[in-house]
Chains A and B, each alone.
Chain A
Amino acid sequence: MKKIWILAVDSFLENIWNRIFVLVAIFGGLLIYASLLFGVLAVEQELRVLMDSGLALIEMVTLIAGIYFSATLFLKEIETKTIYLVLSRPLSRLEYLLGRVFGLILSLLFIMVSMSFIHLILLFVHHWSWQNSYLWALAGIFLKALMLIAAAVFFSLFSTSTIAAIVFSGSLWILGNFTQEIRFLTQKESGLTAILSRILLFLFPHFEVLNWRGGFHEAKVLMGASYAALYFSIFLALSWLIFRAKEF
């Protein structure tokens, strides 16, 4: 565990140094501009719009950063051969994989906390009162990010191409937002369309189970968290199967 933590902190620091501050600064600027604009235009729904636009930006930045960092992490280490200096040490490939993935997770948490901090300041300035549903909304976004980073890590190791990993993970992100409508198709349509729609439901993730903006509902939260945990674990296991046999 100690070595996993050492690698995780190293990954986190590398991400902090390189990119995250730029992302957070850009987000902060975007949010301030969005709030000024929406405040004027949305009039009586200013708070709702500020809440939704802030959470949307937090989600987009977290997921984009997560997919990008995940897709490039291992391939960059292999390309620059920094991986040699770590794998020639007394730690297993599993420890290495887990360490780097947890470092990614720490980086995403940092992004989310920083952006939420800026968002909450703006909300409080606009006379918003704290609601726990805010934390649940963030939790749902974080779990969605976990699912996508596990998939992106797998695709990067499987395809050995950053672009392919980003494209596949990005596709999962987009298609995972349409599964409710695909279910609608399976019920309304028949024949080949219904069959294909049903197959798609098995292929794509279901992000709606992680939409917790309505607040805490025990069954929904348990269901979503279990789904995300299992999805993450399966993709991590697949990544390990590839990584343990990989040659450098």
Chain B
Amino acid sequence: MPSVISFREATKVYSSSHLGRTTKKIGLVDFSLEVEKGEAFGLLGLNGSGKTTTFKLALGLLALNSGTVKVFDSPPSTRAFYSRVGYVPELPYFQSFLTVESCLKFYGRLSGLSNSEIKTNLERVLWETGLVAHKEKRISELSKGLSQRVALAQATIHNPDLLILDEPMSGLDPLAIRDLREYLFRLLEDGKTIFISSHSIFEIEKLCHRVGVLKEGRLIRVLKRKDWTGSPGGLEERFTEIVQNDHLTGALPKTSPR
């Protein structure tokens, strides 16, 4: 299967200087991964393990120190693929004065949609994300769950081929999580690729074809569905086992950063 996202020995080290002292913190180390077309790939890891860093590197919000990253065979710097990507960041925030409808139109226009395309796509995403009844409401009036739906709607309004979702279920109630899961399944059926992270191992287990386990910036294991479906404790047990048994430390890479 062709790969949609490709990381090759990617390393990202965060540097900060204060009063002459420089501190370095590992983001990712020698990270290699291929996300295939049409699959749902989950990233699991403890807090600070590098999940968000991975997404930001794919989107060009961060720059690599060494290694390469390509999305649809193009590096983020060329900006060639952005109309084919939809992104939901962790804890998304929108301008509070906008209504749901005007917010989605704004992002639709920025994605290059024409007025007629926006009209058609807007109706679709409002229906698919359950926001039809709320389209006239201001963002400031929305609950956390509805805001998360808006986040998903803005990521899908331009019908992207790839969705990058950073903790999309964070703060949602069980019914909202179920609706979101069903929506993601429909997107997979339409041939979309999903690259997702979540602390909800249960949801990742249901949705994903493969799962990568991150620890202290390193991809320590990639599991396929068959690796956890047979196991009594499921993905949670496999994840816990992998993370606890891994002995690699958080040392900086030997290869010199860019």
Q: A residues within 8 Å of B by Cβ?
A: 2-3, 6-7, 10, 13-14, 17-18, 80-82, 84-92, 245, 247-248
Contacts and interface: CB of A to CB of B under 8 A. Distances in A.
Nearest 8 A/B pairs, CB to CB? A17-B97, A90-B82, A88-B87, A80-B93, A90-B83, A248-B61, A89-B110, A84-B89
B107 A82 contact: no
Contacts of A85: 87, 89, 92, 94, 107, 154
B106 to A, nearest CB: 6
Nearest to A3: B110
B110 A86 contact: yes
Contact of A248 (B62, B79, B82, B94): B62
Given A90-B83, A248-B62, A81 B93 contact: yes
Contact of A82 (B93, B97, B109): B93
Given A90-B83, A92-B79, A247 B93 contact: no
Contacts of A18: 97
Contacts of B112: 90
A6 B62 contact: no
A82 B110 CA distance: 13
B201 interface: no
B97 A89 contact: no
A247 B97 contact: no
Contacts of B106: 6, 10
B91 A81 contact: yes
A86 B94 CA distance: 11
Given A84-B87, A90-B111, A248-B62, A14 B95 contact: yes
A80 B89 CA distance: 11
Given A82-B94, A87-B59, 14 more contacts: A3-B110, A6-B106, A6-B109, A14-B95, A17-B97, A80-B93, A84-B59, A84-B87, A85-B92, A88-B61, A88-B87, A89-B82, A89-B83, A247-B61
Interface string B47-86: 0000000001001111100000000000000010011010
A82 to B, nearest CB: 5
A247 B63 contact: yes
Contacts, number: 65
Interface in B146-163: 154
14 contacts: A3-B110, A6-B106, A14-B95, A81-B89, A82-B95, A85-B154, A88-B82, A88-B87, A89-B111, A90-B82, A91-B82, A245-B63, A247-B62, A248-B62
Interface string B21-44: 000000000000000000000000
Contacts of A87: 59-61
Contacts of A247: 61-63
Interface in B167-219: none
Interface residues of B, number: 26
Interface of B: 56, 59-63, 79, 82-83, 85, 87, 89, 91-95, 97, 106-107, 109-112, 154, 164
Contacts of B87: 84-85, 88
A2 B110 CA distance: 9
Contacts of B109: 2-3, 6
A18 B62 CA distance: 31
Contacts of A86: 110
A6 B89 contact: no
A81 B87 CA distance: 12
A13 B56 CA distance: 29
Nearest to B60: A87
A122 to B, nearest CB: 31
Contacts of A80: 93
A89 to B, nearest CB: 5
A226 B136 CA distance: 46
Contacts of A92: 79
B15 to A, nearest CB: 10
